[in-house]
A and B are shown apart, each in its own frame.
Chain A
Amino acid sequence: MPGLNKGDIIALKNGKTAKICSKLGEGGQGSVFLAEINEKKYALKWYHKGTVKQPDIFYRNLENNIEQGSPSDAFVWPIYLTVKNDGEFGYVMNLMPNNYKSFTDFLLTKEKFSSISVVVNAALNITNAFRELHRRGFSYQDLNDGNFFIDPKTGDVLICDTDNVAPYGEALGIAGKARYMAPEVVRNITAPDVMTDRFSLAVILFRLLFLDHPLEGKRTLCPCLTEKLEQKFYGVSPLFIYDPYDTSNIPVRGVHCNVIRLWKYYPKFIKDKFIYSFSQECLHGSQRRLTDNDWQIAFTRLRDCIITCPCGSETFIDLKADSSVCINCGRKIPRPPVLKSKKYAAALFPGNKLYRCHTIEDSDDYTEVTASVVRSKNRPNVWGLRNLSDNTWNVTLKDGTTTEVPNGKVQIIVNAHKIDFGNCIGELEF
């Protein structure tokens, strides 16, 4: 019987040893164990003999990935490799913290996202992780709902199963799940690579927002989904459920309930990204698929138009319309002031934040807060923008005069015309 037992001592390539404590789980390729190295706990994945198609290449690839290091903190990356033992081997990675829940659990509603912001944060974190991975010359190859772990309260993301990650142009012969693979991979015309990762990423992002599957509607609701039909629905003739030119695969009431309910809430510009991504041209690869960076910009823009309505719920603001309607309470919300910078336009509504990408020219950092919109304590109708950055802002007021706003200080929004954040100018629109 292959596998390891409690108490086994496994030699690592770096000369250390790992002691097996218990089994954490089992998958198609192998088992994951709780292991101890120098009194610290880790996870150790051990491959069953024969389950890896080209073990030598696979082993060398793992070795290379460990040497290169993780492209981003979002990946649960291999950190040590074991010595081969009678053709079997494994690698060591960090343990998954308890607050991260499998994306599968969200699809099965064992876990729920606490707000729209959390979903959008998760989308940003996923796209950024893949952007960093691809920028380092890797491709992931086998994206599916089982690879992602998300904190339901924050949208922080950890991506596991990184053992199939390989440098561009190399495919490890890993079989992916048809539902998540690009049509050309489903048809076995191309091996998985960065371009096919882009397709899978679009499927994951769609499911993150809408839970249901972008290619599963009326047409795919067949009594028996055989392997041949999967080839058809995901490979040969896939059709987006909201394809504007062909409505034969629309979502079915009572079956695809989530997407029917959620699709209508989202702003048109983000829906258009999905309509484009799953257009026939992009499905069949004749049009350029959206890059990770395209998605990162799109989701940053989406976050810029989320506000918390006085009813306590988050809603979207149409930055081009005079007013928007809260998706929860139906209240009419007049358009708040908008800060326009080179790439972004952000709603300035109490509770909203600006990030480095808004206040620093050409920054794409969507994580570090540089300003927040606050209400005056004694006059709640007066909104201000608090400087949380290290730079002193130079604000041009509506009357043409200028004033300085250092870190920690607040500028009353309604009086401002332009803000020079240091190396980037934002213009206010009312």
Chain B
Amino acid sequence: MAGIYDDVVEVARRTMVLFFVVDTSGSMEGAKIGTLNQAIEDIIPEITDISENNADAEIKVAVLEFSNGAKWITPTPIPAQDFTWAYLNSGGMTDFGEACKELNEKLSRNSFMSDITGSFAPAIFLLSDGAPTDNYQPNLEALQQNNWFKKAIKVAVAIGSDANKDVLAEFTGNAEGVLTVHSPEALKKMIRFVSVTSSQIGSRSAAVGNTAPDEVVSKQNVFLEQVNVAYNNGDFEDESIEW
């Protein structure tokens, strides 16, 4: 007995790419890269869950590491449910400019952002503990002109006090988008918070109903508001080991 609902297909969903841009320079060695690897690996099932129970968009993951040069770990964005985190090793310089260049190239309709059903703006999550060792500025400036980048939810986590927060703020576009952590425990919490929150906000149809007439609230601002709530609740407080 055939029914007209037997052959329905999954509704067309947009794609939301969650980018992890990870500093794997020498200074990340040890607890930093170790914690980072485990924390991201642990969070993937939650991202998968957000993606699989979401009729607005499917979440895909892309990973870019930078040290001596920059390298894509994912040749193309991978659906969250198919993605496994490959543990990153650290060593070398901090070629942040190279990372900006790679990101700029892939943030294009002809490259990573090519889904026929379209995309939501991506969420880009930068993790770094140092300062650029290359002449990053021209590449960052070019990236800042990229429309995908402009619309993205951008957040950077500064790991420890040696991270150059000014550079990270140049990347995110504001100081509020730079979150600092001083311990492995805090890094773990922050990776979870940023990955989950940016995925939730980025992969859903925009929240409306809370602003002035015809004012458009960016998802970036919705994200920052959540960061504030979390800070006020003391979610990121930690008094354990410091780097």
Contacts and interface: CB of A to CB of B under 8 A. Distances in A.
Chain A contact-residue range equals 35 or more
Given A108-B10, A188-B209, A227 B3 contact: no
B214 A179 contact: no
26 contacts: A1-B233, A1-B234, A2-B233, A49-B233, A50-B232, A51-B229, A53-B210, A115-B5, A174-B209, A177-B56, A180-B205, A181-B208, A185-B209, A188-B212, A188-B215, A189-B214, A213-B11, A216-B12, A224-B119, A230-B205, A236-B214, A258-B8, A261-B4, A262-B8, A313-B3, A327-B4
B204 A227 contact: no
A185 B56 CA distance: 19
A25 to B, nearest CB: 9
Interface in A168-199: 171, 173-181, 185-189, 191-192
Nearest to A231: B216
A235 B213 CA distance: 11
A400 interface: no
Interface centre among B4, B12, B213, B216 (most CB of A within 10 A): B4
Interface string B79-119: 00000000000000000000000000000010001001111
A145 B55 contact: yes
A274 to B, nearest CB: 17
B217 A227 contact: yes
B239 interface: no
A262 B8 CA distance: 9
Contacts of B148: 224
B2 A328 contact: yes
Contact of A112 (B8, B209, B233, B234): B8
Interface residues of B, number: 51
Contacts of A225: 14, 118-121
B10 A28 contact: no
A178 B9 contact: no
Contact of B205 (A171, A173, A178, A256): A178
A257 B4 CA distance: 13
Interface string B198-235: 00100011111111111111110000000001001111
Interface in A256-278: 256-258, 261-262, 265
Given A179-B56, A216-B12, A224-B118, 20 more contacts: A28-B200, A107-B11, A112-B6, A116-B3, A176-B208, A177-B208, A178-B207, A179-B205, A185-B209, A188-B214, A188-B215, A191-B209, A212-B12, A224-B119, A225-B120, A225-B121, A262-B8, A312-B2, A313-B1, A328-B3
A291 B229 CA distance: 39
Interface of A: 1-2, 28, 48-51, 53, 102, 104-105, 107-109, 112-116, 119, 145, 171, 173-181, 185-189, 191-192, 211-213, 216, 221-228, 230-231, 234-236, 254-258, 261-262, 265, 311-314, 327-328
Nearest to B197: A28
Contact of B208 (A188, A211, A257): A188
Given A50-B229, A108-B10, A113-B5, A228 B216 contact: yes
Contact of A187 (B200, B213, B218): B213
B54 interface: yes
Tell me if A's interface is mostly helix, strand, loop or mixed: loop
A354 B5 CA distance: 25
Contacts of B119: 223-225
A116 B5 contact: yes
A309 to B, nearest CB: 10
Contacts of A234: 205, 208
Interface string B6-25: 11111110100000000000
Contacts of B7: 261
B207 to A, nearest CB: 4
Given A191-B209, A223-B119, A313-B2, A104 B217 contact: no
Contact of B209 (A2, A102, A109, A192): A192
B145 interface: no
B147 interface: yes
A257 B11 CA distance: 8
Contacts of B8: 109, 112, 211, 258, 261-262
A226 B151 contact: yes
Nearest to A87: B233
Given A223-B113, A223-B119, A328-B2, A176 B207 contact: yes
B219 A227 contact: yes
Contacts of B53: 102, 104-105, 108
